[in-house]
Structure 1
Amino acid sequence: MSVWNESEGKRIHDPFYFPFLPKTDNKIFVTEGPLIIGGGPSGLAVSACLKEKGVPSLILERSHCIASLWQLKTYDRLRLHLPKKFCELPLMPYPPGFPTYPTKQQFLAYLESYAKRFDIKPVFNQTVVSAEFERANGMWRVCTQEGSEYLSKWLVVATGENAEAVVPEIEGIKGFKGTVVHTSEYRSGDLYQKKKVLVVGCGNSGMEVCLDLYNYGAMPSIVVKEAVHVLPREMFGSSTFGISMWLLKWFPMQTVDRFLLIMSRIMLGDTAPLGLERPHLGPMELKSVSGKTPVLDVGTLSRIKSGDIKVFPAIRKLTEKGAEFIDGRKEEFDAVVLATGYRSNVPSWLKERVFFSEKDGFPRKPFPNGWKGEDGLYSVGFTKRGLLGASMDATRIAHDIHQSWQDMAKQLIEYPLSWSST
């Protein structure tokens, strides 16, 4: 049992009802329902699905707002890379007036409306430093940097694939006299007008940042270290992703890949002479095997073809005024933008190594089997399939916890406990 604390708006530990809890200076909260770590789209989706089934939950979020990655660490021109119908959270579609590819601001407005509709109120500014299952009482104990402890029978890890920025070790980076920022700190090209900027990383973010820099009057270049698939965002007036999903219902993946590559060659031309070699595996197969997403071109490729955006191979080292590349070329730059992605931070705080991999912080079982572990542990947002994958897992998790919730309620009816206050 737990006691509702009106001043703090939470159920708080009562030592009479929980004699097994050790004495501590920390505040201890015992949640009725699941504890969800992370207040991004994935965490909101699980909470909404649970609420729809009558199961309460509590979200802990390290920042001061929901969807902190989107709100605080994304560039201004960002839009959803996929059509909105593939990026809806469960139980609530986008407003009818939204465009096919909603802007960052529109997506955030959608998330705010989602939280309001399902009355989701995360506990903000709670940075989880450890979470461990205690077999003695059958509960997860979650400790935060701020000095609070939370206990729950269910723990949902919703911190996602992009919890921490990846900053690579580049020889000479400390001696470079220009500015170096990760894309999590980049907002727009407004600060880089007439400057030579090297973007390191050729995924969707790197390509879009290059285009944004060009549009603001900068002189961007991009580092393409590995082979990459560049596809048109749309074919025949429909999204390439949507067409691919439809074709996969009828044809093998390799056949769909051949179609995508033929269409890309017709629409975009051969990208190899531009310094954009294609991987040996097709785009869909590569995504399935490694999780690496193909680049959906929004106009960057034409600027590469025109020479407005230069392409360089991997960096050998940075110098005081620029960079040296593995092909021997040298170039001066005023700034470097690291579009080098993000990683999971789960291994740094979750004391569990069976369900989650210590190596990459992802569930060991690939999609669609990576959503449920043992002892009431769940994961959402680790599918490498974006919001669509997260929504699918959120629905599964809510259904599974709801069944457990009903079983507990049934046991209480069949085996009632009498509590005494004396």
Structure 2
Amino acid sequence: MLMNYLKELECKMVHDHQKKDKMVTSILVQGPIIVGAGPSGLAAAACLKQKGIQSLILERANCLASMWQLKTYDRLKLHLPKQFCQLPLMPFPKGLPSYPTKQQFLSYLKAYANHFDINPIFGKQVVNAEFDLTCGVWRVKTQEIIMKKCIVIEYVCQWLIVASGENAEEVMPSIEGMEQFQGPILHTSLYKSGSMFCGKNVLVVGCGNSGMEVCLDLCNHNAHPSLVVRDTVHILPQQIFGKSTFGLSMWLLKWFSVHFVDQFLLLMSYFILGDTSQYGIQRPKIGPLELKNLYGKTPVLDVGTVAQIKTGKIKVCKGIKRLAHNAVEFVDGKVENFDAIILATGYKSNVPSWLKGSDMFSEKDGFPRKPFPNGWKGEKGLYAVGFTKRGLLGSSIDAKRIAEDIEHSWKALKAKPLA
């Protein structure tokens, strides 16, 4: 049996062979392989470590939590209170504010990795992962070009944990006339601060949490932002009665139905924020929590943007019809000039591009086919962490379940005598 063979070999044993301009290296790994060194991957590794199981994390970037470090704006804070964002087995340090800043969260993640002695292998882009039916193992291939030579490393393992995340790749919409627009068009992954747009007319496309917050940041830097609101959206106050709206909702759901809590949230939002339809922002007919449960669409938690919309400092626009030079034509026929366009159009999973031969993930959106809370486990030792559309709290739940499940098969394998 293959597992007997694996037990006889150390995980670092390497077999190399060279074909023309390609070097292929095979490495046997006794523990699970985790793809992605973001918060979800770290959480899974820590939970496994607690159970005495060493994992190997492969990360395409050259740092932990590359999304947070490289693709987020400066003013970013956690949108939920810290108690809902901490990873398993290690709370945030005392003294941090309720909503830690980007840098505070990154410091926490680095301390988390150090505490559990988690050492990802950086710069390893997974290009293919497939289950070998003959040998009963996963073959995970990374590829990089070094001195004009293609270096392929194949990692062989029993368990594969997909932690590459919901936000692996930017969503770049196709808008008529984009090539004609003379100003910069950039995704929020490249936006750092409104300081570079001082005095400029900026169009922000997308009205999720990022789009709303970028508009506020632009206001704070004396830019003139306009916000494209194409679809309906729920905007909720970040806090109600001095309590986190999210935390209050979770508490109310222990006692009341989703429909009742939704009605309460909408009533409070009306009193605190007013009727957003007056400013061109229509609410969906389905309540915010029900909409989240059914379609995974997250409501916006307002941090001050609505107040700026009310004053007129942030304009609300309809959907875009086309671009031309410095002008934008909207679907309602209005034409306005802009110096720059920022695309707050979100991200997507990239799992279907590299995970092959498995039907656990949908080809359409790259998420597990089974809805929460059952999407964490596939077949043949395949797992997913961080695809719940429920933030870091969902990642923590997944990580604990995965570690417990792998522990059972790990102990069973260790108990088997060598043939």
SS in 2 for 1:174: coil
Q: Post-superposition shift, 1:3?
A: 5.2
Q: Which residue type is aligned with residue 123 of structure 1?
A: I
1:202 aligns with 2:207: yes
Q: Which residue type is aligned with residue 239 of structure 2?
A: E
SS in 2 for 1:80: coil
SS in 2 for 1:92: coil
1:233 aligns with 2:221: no
Query: How far apart in 2 are the matches of 1:219 and 1:259?
Result: 34
Q: Which residue type is aligned with residue 372 of structure 2?
A: F
SS in 2 for 1:175: coil
Deviation string, structure 1 residues 213-235 (Cα, Å, up to 9, x no partner): 11011100000000001110000
Query: How far apart in 2 are the matches of 1:32 and 1:416?
Result: 15
SS in 1 for 2:190: coil
Q: 8 Å contact 1:163–1:345 — kept in the other structure?
A: yes
Query: How far apart in 1 are the matches of 2:72 and 2:13?
Result: 36
1:67 aligns with 2:69: no
1:111 aligns with 2:116: no
Counterparts in 2 of 1:337-352, with a 5 A limit?
A: 337-352=342-357
Query: Aligned to 1:324, which of 306, 313, 329?
Result: 329
Query: How far apart in 1 are the matches of 2:118 and 2:192?
Result: 28
Number of the residue aligned with 1:416 = 418
Q: 8 Å contact 2:71–2:189 — kept in the other structure?
A: yes
Q: Post-superposition shift, 1:22?
A: 12
Deviation string, structure 1 residues 2-60 (Cα, Å, up to 9, x no partner): 755xxxxx713359xxxxx9998311111110000000000000000000000010000
Query: How far apart in 2 are the matches of 1:209 and 1:25?
Result: 45
1:359 aligns with 2:360: no
> What is the percentage of aligned positions where both structures have the same residue?
61
Q: Post-superposition shift, 1:353?
A: 3.8
Counterparts in 2 of 1:15-414, with a 5 A limit?
A: 25-146=23-144, 147-411=152-416
- Give 5+ residue unaligned stretches, structure 1: 5-9, 16-20, 418-422
Query: How far apart in 1 are the matches of 2:357 and 2:370?
Result: 15
Number of the residue aligned with 1:18 = none
Number of the residue aligned with 2:12 = 11
Q: Which residue type is aligned with residue 240 of structure 2?
A: M
Q: 8 Å contact 1:47–1:120 — kept in the other structure?
A: yes
Q: Which residue type is aligned with residue 384 of structure 1?
A: K
Q: Which residue type is aligned with residue 151 of structure 1?
A: V
Query: How far apart in 2 are the matches of 1:237 and 1:41?
Result: 28
* Aligned-CA RMSD value: 1.4
Query: How far apart in 1 are the matches of 2:333 and 2:240?
Result: 38
Q: 8 Å contact 1:3–1:14 — kept in the other structure?
A: no
Q: Post-superposition shift, 1:160?
A: 0.7
Query: How far apart in 2 are the matches of 1:226 and 1:342?
Result: 17
The TM-score with structure 1 as length reference comes to 0.94
Q: Which residue type is aligned with residue 130 of structure 1?
A: N
Alignment size in residue pairs: 404
Q: Which residue type is aligned with residue 320 of structure 1?
A: H
Q: 8 Å contact 2:318–2:332 — kept in the other structure?
A: yes
Query: How far apart in 2 are the matches of 1:358 and 1:74?
Result: 27
Q: Post-superposition shift, 1:273?
A: 1.1
SS in 2 for 1:408: helix
Deviation string, structure 1 residues 210-261 (Cα, Å, up to 9, x no partner): 0001101110000000000111000011000000000011111000000000
Deviation string, structure 1 residues 252-303 (Cα, Å, up to 9, x no partner): 1000000000010011110001011000100000111111111100000000
Q: Which residue type is aligned with residue 24 of structure 2?
A: N
Q: Which residue type is aligned with residue 387 of structure 2?
A: F
Query: How far apart in 2 are the matches of 1:317 and 1:25?
Result: 48
